[in-house]
Structure 1
Amino acid sequence: MTSFRTAVEAGEFLITAEVAPPKGGDPIQMVKMAQLLKKRVHAINITDGSRAVLRMSPLAASVILLQQGIEPICQVACRDRNRIGLQADLMGAHALGIRNILALTGDPVKAGDHPDCKGVFDLESVRLLQAIDKMNRGLDWNEKPLTDGATDLFVGAAVDPQLASWSGLQSRFERKLQAGAQFFQSQLITDFDRLEKFMTQIAAGTNKPILAGIFLLKSAKNAEFINRCVPGVNIPQHIIDRLASATDPLEEGIAIAAEQVKLARQICQGVHMMAVKREDLIPQILDLAGIPPITN
């Protein structure tokens, strides 16, 4: 059993952090950032073509982290592979020692750096969760036996508590629960009242941890870029104004992120830290939020 899964089952306050694979064949920067997070997070979440931007395979990147003694959560998105390719990668992940999977539909190709390529989307996140559940029971998608052994994958899913449609949010969450999701990672959270409402009215009693997405905003310009380019994200104007008026916008962004971690700690079971290209600042954010190093 992985330390992340052990922490989930023990009911610990969970901390994960997102690290992007390299764009190229040299993983040294990714490894350096991940190593700085040892003893501060339960696992490193390796993205799968986030925003449909080309990066190294998350499967390969996750293996590299395992070789460094760092536990990964490997994202698997449906955008680029059909069900044969997805199942093949999941069997490969198990064989290589990767146990934590985050099942995603994937951002649309037009959002990324290859807007003319063809999206696959043979499955979407709920059916991918169903496929993983079958594989963990020793069956492929067509319910034929996996003759060389079942997988043992601990699978999570994404959730967006700030989704405009409350009924849509509830329906999607319940479908992912039924499909086998063991933990949930939220999109970037800025409305903590909405997160609390989600936790009390939808997620209550499910016994599955929700990790609130906390994003390090480096400047007002950075926040405006995210609003413009990241699907489904809306950073409120008061946060943008706070960053714009700050003497040191990066330090203000660190303070904002720490405040949000403190809020999340009162509401849900964990946080998922996102600090693109400045993952080295995550320990500082956690210290400021009063989150101690992980001892086990």
Structure 2
Amino acid sequence: MTRPGVSAAAFGALDMMEELRDRSADAQLPIASIRVLPEFNPRRLLGDQAFTDEALADLAQNIRTYGVLQPVLVRRRRAEILLVAGERRLRAAALAGLTQVPVIYVDADDARAYEIAIIENAQRNDLDLVTETLVGFQFLSRRLNLSTDEIVSYLHHVRKGRREDDLGVERLLRDMYGTGISVWGQRRALILRMTAAERAAIQARRVDAKVCAELVPLPEGDTRSALLERAAQEGLTARQVRDLVRTEQQTTQPSRPALAVQGDQMRRLLPRLSRLKGPAARRAEQLLNELRDLLDPTPR
């Protein structure tokens, strides 16, 4: 039985994808007869870059050579045929000169169709880490009816043992992505705090995600951007970037007043007062009285 708060449809969609994995095509349909709803493609979350002719060139060439090996998923809505998953294959097939593609029909309303699209993309090897993470959090947000910040907070509290996973997120993440709350509550959550430039650098494989994660403590701005560019150009490791960030933080922190520093030093020495005897003890008492009068001049 599905736990309270977990979408039964989400697990139903997972089961459906298992059944569809090795299923042969139901039909060949004209590409022009299939309507694409962009909002159902999670890859468009970061824009349309993955759907340009240039981005589809390699896939189109493979289709020219081998054909469309995996059917696209479609659903019927009244007189329309709507695409559920496989937009890149569909567009690459058209780019390759095909007029028809193999399809599998799925029985799904809008909510189920979106979940199937998410799951189908999650199971693909070519989905980059950034897109997968942003889509994953968007999926959790829709399924659990929580904001992204609320989801991150939930993952943090579950990971720290401060609450039970009563929404069943661990199972959902593992079924979809093979990783659970520990990974999503830490490494994946850091991607949400990265700049657009840092995410793009990860997608372009200019830097590793671990490198960009070390930049997150810095405020957005020229310094952070410069460190990203340096890391990319010099091939810096995450550890090297961490050291640079720490150095930057130390140099930009406002220096403490000298008296505050001396006060901290004195506080650590106060326990030694009890060791003083004779003239040294009387001198210490005199100094303490003078200091008290300076700090609190109110007549006693």
TM-score, normalization by structure 1: 0.25
Structure that is richer in strand per residue: 1
Q: Which has the larger radius of gyration?
A: 2
Structure of greater relative contact order (alpha carbons < 8 Å, 6+ residues apart): 1
